[in-house]
Protein backbone atom coordinates (compact mmCIF):
# COMPACT_ATOMS: atom_id res chain seq x y z
CA UNK A 1 0.00 0.00 0.00
CA UNK A 2 1.16 3.50 -0.82
CA UNK A 3 -0.08 6.12 1.62
CA UNK A 4 0.07 9.82 0.88
CA UNK A 5 -0.56 12.26 3.74
CA UNK A 6 -2.16 15.24 2.02
CA UNK A 7 -2.44 17.53 5.05
CA UNK A 8 -0.88 17.84 8.49
CA UNK A 9 -2.48 20.96 10.00
CA UNK A 10 -5.14 20.61 12.71
CA UNK A 11 -8.11 22.93 13.07
CA UNK A 12 -6.04 26.02 13.89
CA UNK A 13 -5.07 29.35 12.31
CA UNK A 14 -1.25 29.15 12.19
CA UNK A 15 0.45 27.37 9.31
CA UNK A 16 4.00 26.78 8.12
CA UNK A 17 5.71 25.67 4.95
CA UNK A 18 4.69 22.03 4.26
CA UNK A 19 2.08 22.22 7.03
CA UNK A 20 -0.76 24.11 5.38
CA UNK A 21 -3.45 21.61 4.45
CA UNK A 22 -6.06 20.05 6.69
CA UNK A 23 -6.55 16.32 7.04
CA UNK A 24 -6.62 13.89 4.11
CA UNK A 25 -4.99 10.54 3.37
CA UNK A 26 -4.80 8.96 -0.06
CA UNK A 27 -4.33 5.19 -0.29
CA UNK A 28 -2.80 3.94 -3.57
CA UNK A 29 -4.20 7.04 -5.33
CA UNK A 30 -7.62 5.37 -5.00
CA UNK A 31 -9.22 5.79 -1.59
CA UNK A 32 -9.44 9.13 0.18
CA UNK A 33 -9.82 9.20 3.95
CA UNK A 34 -11.17 12.60 5.11
CA UNK A 35 -11.57 15.66 2.89
CA UNK A 36 -10.09 18.56 4.86
CA UNK A 37 -9.54 20.50 1.61
CA UNK A 38 -11.82 20.74 -1.42
CA UNK A 39 -8.85 20.23 -3.77
CA UNK A 40 -8.42 16.64 -2.55
CA UNK A 41 -11.39 15.68 -4.72
CA UNK A 42 -9.27 16.65 -7.78
CA UNK A 43 -7.43 13.36 -7.14
CA UNK A 44 -10.62 11.60 -8.34
CA UNK A 45 -10.76 9.01 -5.57
CA UNK A 46 -12.83 5.89 -6.22
CA UNK A 47 -14.23 6.08 -2.67
CA UNK A 48 -14.20 8.55 0.21
CA UNK A 49 -14.26 7.48 3.85
CA UNK A 50 -14.73 9.98 6.72
CA UNK A 51 -13.42 9.58 10.27
CA UNK A 52 -15.79 12.30 11.56
CA UNK A 53 -17.43 15.48 10.38
CA UNK A 54 -15.39 18.27 11.96
CA UNK A 55 -14.60 21.00 9.38
CA UNK A 56 -10.88 20.15 9.19
CA UNK A 57 -11.89 16.67 7.99
CA UNK A 58 -14.93 17.72 5.92
CA UNK A 59 -14.22 21.08 4.23
CA UNK A 60 -17.86 21.67 3.17
CA UNK A 61 -19.25 21.77 6.73
CA UNK A 62 -18.58 25.46 7.65
CA UNK A 63 -20.31 26.82 4.51
CA UNK A 64 -23.11 24.26 4.71
CA UNK A 65 -22.49 23.17 1.10
CA UNK A 66 -23.90 19.83 0.01
CA UNK A 67 -21.18 17.25 -0.70
CA UNK A 68 -22.47 15.23 -3.63
CA UNK A 69 -19.57 13.85 -5.72
CA UNK A 70 -20.25 10.81 -7.95
CA UNK A 71 -18.14 8.70 -5.62
CA UNK A 72 -19.14 6.15 -2.99
CA UNK A 73 -19.04 7.87 0.41
CA UNK A 74 -18.74 6.22 3.81
CA UNK A 75 -18.86 7.69 7.30
CA UNK A 76 -19.68 7.02 10.95
CA UNK A 77 -23.15 8.64 11.02
CA UNK A 78 -25.71 10.24 8.72
CA UNK A 79 -25.09 13.89 7.73
CA UNK A 80 -27.53 16.46 6.25
CA UNK A 81 -24.91 17.70 3.76
CA UNK A 82 -24.07 14.21 2.43
CA UNK A 83 -27.33 12.63 1.25
CA UNK A 84 -25.55 9.71 -0.47
CA UNK A 85 -23.44 8.75 2.55
CA UNK A 86 -23.37 5.08 3.47
CA UNK A 87 -23.36 4.84 7.26
CA UNK A 88 -20.78 2.30 8.41
CA UNK A 89 -22.19 -0.43 10.62
CA UNK A 90 -19.28 -2.87 10.63
CA UNK A 91 -16.41 -4.22 8.56
CA UNK A 92 -16.76 -3.34 4.87
CA UNK A 93 -14.86 -3.75 1.64
CA UNK A 94 -14.24 -1.15 -1.05
CA UNK A 95 -11.99 -1.40 -4.14
CA UNK A 96 -10.30 -4.50 -2.68
CA UNK A 97 -9.48 -2.88 0.69
CA UNK A 98 -11.03 -4.19 3.89
CA UNK A 99 -11.98 -1.49 6.39
CA UNK A 100 -12.46 -2.44 10.03
CA UNK A 101 -13.97 0.50 11.94
CA UNK A 102 -12.64 1.17 15.45
CA UNK A 103 -14.80 3.41 17.70
CA UNK A 104 -12.85 6.46 18.84
CA UNK A 105 -13.84 8.89 21.61
CA UNK A 106 -13.29 12.44 20.36
CA UNK A 107 -16.27 14.82 20.17
CA UNK A 108 -19.35 15.31 22.31
CA UNK A 109 -21.88 15.57 19.50
CA UNK A 110 -20.19 13.67 16.68
CA UNK A 111 -19.41 10.01 16.22
CA UNK A 112 -15.79 9.21 15.29
CA UNK A 113 -14.25 6.13 13.76
CA UNK A 114 -10.69 5.07 13.13
CA UNK A 115 -10.03 2.48 10.44
CA UNK A 116 -7.82 -0.54 10.09
CA UNK A 117 -7.29 -0.83 6.35
CA UNK A 118 -6.08 -4.15 5.01
CA UNK A 119 -4.84 -5.07 1.55
CA UNK A 120 -3.07 -8.37 0.88
CA UNK A 121 -1.24 -9.01 4.19
CA UNK A 122 -0.58 -5.32 4.96
CA UNK A 123 -2.55 -3.47 7.61
CA UNK A 124 -2.54 0.18 8.57
CA UNK A 125 -4.60 2.00 11.21
CA UNK A 126 -5.71 5.60 10.72
CA UNK A 127 -7.05 6.80 14.06
CA UNK A 128 -8.43 10.23 13.17
CA UNK A 129 -8.71 12.65 16.11
CA UNK A 130 -8.48 10.96 19.50
CA UNK A 131 -9.53 11.85 23.04
CA UNK A 132 -9.21 8.15 23.80
CA UNK A 133 -9.72 4.68 22.38
CA UNK A 134 -11.11 2.06 24.74
CA UNK A 135 -8.52 -0.69 25.19
CA UNK A 136 -11.27 -3.28 24.53
CA UNK A 137 -11.57 -1.88 21.00
CA UNK A 138 -7.85 -2.49 20.42
CA UNK A 139 -7.72 -5.97 21.96
CA UNK A 140 -6.94 -8.98 19.76
CA UNK A 141 -5.94 -6.88 16.76
CA UNK A 142 -3.57 -8.53 14.30
CA UNK A 143 -0.13 -6.82 14.14
CA UNK A 144 -0.19 -3.54 12.23
CA UNK A 145 2.45 -2.34 9.78
CA UNK A 146 1.74 1.33 10.41
CA UNK A 147 -0.41 3.59 12.60
CA UNK A 148 -1.19 7.16 11.52
CA UNK A 149 -2.44 9.32 14.35
CA UNK A 150 -2.71 12.93 15.48
CA UNK A 151 -0.51 15.41 17.34
CA UNK A 152 -2.79 18.24 18.45
CA UNK A 153 -1.05 18.34 21.84
CA UNK A 154 2.57 17.35 22.53
CA UNK A 155 2.10 17.48 26.30
CA UNK A 156 1.03 14.44 28.26
CA UNK A 157 -2.73 14.32 28.76
CA UNK A 158 -3.45 16.68 25.87
CA UNK A 159 -6.63 18.65 26.50
CA UNK A 160 -9.57 16.57 27.61
CA UNK A 161 -12.94 18.11 28.39
CA UNK A 162 -15.53 16.41 30.55
CA UNK A 163 -19.31 16.57 30.55
CA UNK A 164 -21.05 14.26 33.02
CA UNK A 165 -19.52 10.84 32.29
CA UNK A 166 -18.33 11.76 28.79
CA UNK A 167 -14.87 12.91 27.74
CA UNK A 168 -13.94 14.68 24.53
CA UNK A 169 -11.06 16.61 22.96
CA UNK A 170 -7.57 15.38 22.15
CA UNK A 171 -5.21 13.29 24.23
CA UNK A 172 -1.45 13.99 24.17
CA UNK A 173 1.24 12.56 21.91
CA UNK A 174 2.88 10.67 24.85
CA UNK A 175 -0.45 8.99 25.65
CA UNK A 176 -0.94 7.97 22.03
CA UNK A 177 2.56 6.50 21.90
CA UNK A 178 1.85 4.38 24.98
CA UNK A 179 -1.52 3.26 23.69
CA UNK A 180 -0.52 2.49 20.11
CA UNK A 181 3.15 1.34 20.27
CA UNK A 182 2.29 -2.25 21.28
CA UNK A 183 0.14 -2.61 18.16
CA UNK A 184 2.46 -1.53 15.38
CA UNK A 185 5.91 -1.33 13.77
CA UNK A 186 5.80 2.44 13.28
CA UNK A 187 3.71 5.52 14.19
CA UNK A 188 3.29 8.53 11.91
CA UNK A 189 2.02 11.82 13.36
CA UNK A 190 0.03 14.54 11.63
CA UNK A 191 -2.82 16.97 12.58
CA UNK A 192 -0.46 19.33 14.40
CA UNK A 193 -1.81 21.79 16.97
CA UNK A 194 -0.64 25.26 18.05
CA UNK A 195 2.47 23.92 19.81
CA UNK A 196 3.94 22.78 16.48
CA UNK A 197 3.83 26.28 14.97
CA UNK A 198 5.38 28.05 17.97
CA UNK A 199 8.81 26.82 16.87
CA UNK A 200 10.26 25.90 13.46
CA UNK A 201 8.80 22.73 11.94
CA UNK A 202 12.25 21.15 12.24
CA UNK A 203 12.46 21.79 15.99
CA UNK A 204 8.86 20.74 16.58
CA UNK A 205 9.46 17.46 14.75
CA UNK A 206 12.46 16.87 17.02
CA UNK A 207 10.09 17.08 20.01
CA UNK A 208 8.22 14.08 18.61
CA UNK A 209 11.43 12.23 17.72
CA UNK A 210 12.66 12.78 21.30
CA UNK A 211 9.81 10.57 22.55
CA UNK A 212 10.98 7.63 20.42
CA UNK A 213 11.68 4.41 22.35
CA UNK A 214 10.68 1.00 21.02
CA UNK A 215 9.46 1.88 17.54
CA UNK A 216 10.13 4.65 15.00
CA UNK A 217 8.03 7.81 15.35
CA UNK A 218 7.68 9.75 12.13
CA UNK A 219 6.44 13.38 12.07
CA UNK A 220 4.70 13.91 8.72
CA UNK A 221 4.54 16.90 6.37
CA UNK A 222 2.01 17.78 3.68
CA UNK A 223 2.44 15.47 0.69
CA UNK A 224 4.56 12.89 2.51
CA UNK A 225 4.41 9.44 0.94
CA UNK A 226 5.17 6.10 2.50
CA UNK A 227 4.89 2.49 1.50
CA UNK A 228 4.01 -0.56 3.60
Q: Does 222 bind Zn ion (CB under 5 A)?
A: no
Query: Rounded to whole angstroms, how far apart are CA atoms 187 and 177?
Result: 8
The one among 9, 56, 169, 193 contacting Zn ion by CB under 5 A:
56
C-alpha dist (Å) from residue 82 to 66, 67, 126, 149: 6, 5, 22, 25
Q: Does 129 bind Zn ion (CB under 5 A)?
A: yes
Considering the complex, state which of residue 37 and residue 56 has its C-beta at the smaller distance from Zn ion: 56
> Which of 205, 26, 197 is closest to 126 using CA atoms?
26
Shortest Cβ 192–Zn ion spacing (Å): 10
Q: Does 123 bind Zn ion (CB under 5 A)?
A: no
How many residues touch Zn ion under the rule CB under 5 A: the total is 3
Shortest Cβ 36–Zn ion spacing (Å): 8
Stretch that binds Zn ion, among 90-98, 126-134, 140-148, 201-209 (CB under 5 A): 126-134
Query: Rounded to whole angstroms, how far apart are CA atoms 73 and 110?
Result: 17
* Cβ pair 208, 174 in contact under 8 A: no
Q: Does 54 bind Zn ion (CB under 5 A)?
A: yes
Query: Rounded to whole angstroms, how far apart are CA atoms 115 and 74?
Result: 12
Shortest Cβ 8–Zn ion spacing (Å): 11
SS3 at position 100: strand
Q: Residue 111 carries which DSSP code? A: -
Q: Does 34 bind Zn ion (CB under 5 A)?
A: no
Which residues 7-26 are close enough to bind Zn ion by CB under 5 A? none
Applying CB under 5 A, the residues found at the interface with Zn ion are 54, 56, 129
Amino acid sequence: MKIKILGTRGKIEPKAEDHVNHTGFLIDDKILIDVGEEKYMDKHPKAVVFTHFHPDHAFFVPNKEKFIPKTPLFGPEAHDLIPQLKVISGKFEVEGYTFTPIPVIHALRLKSLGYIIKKAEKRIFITGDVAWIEKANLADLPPLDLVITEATFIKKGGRINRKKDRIFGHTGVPNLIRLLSPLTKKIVFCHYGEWFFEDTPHNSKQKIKALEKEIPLVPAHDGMEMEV
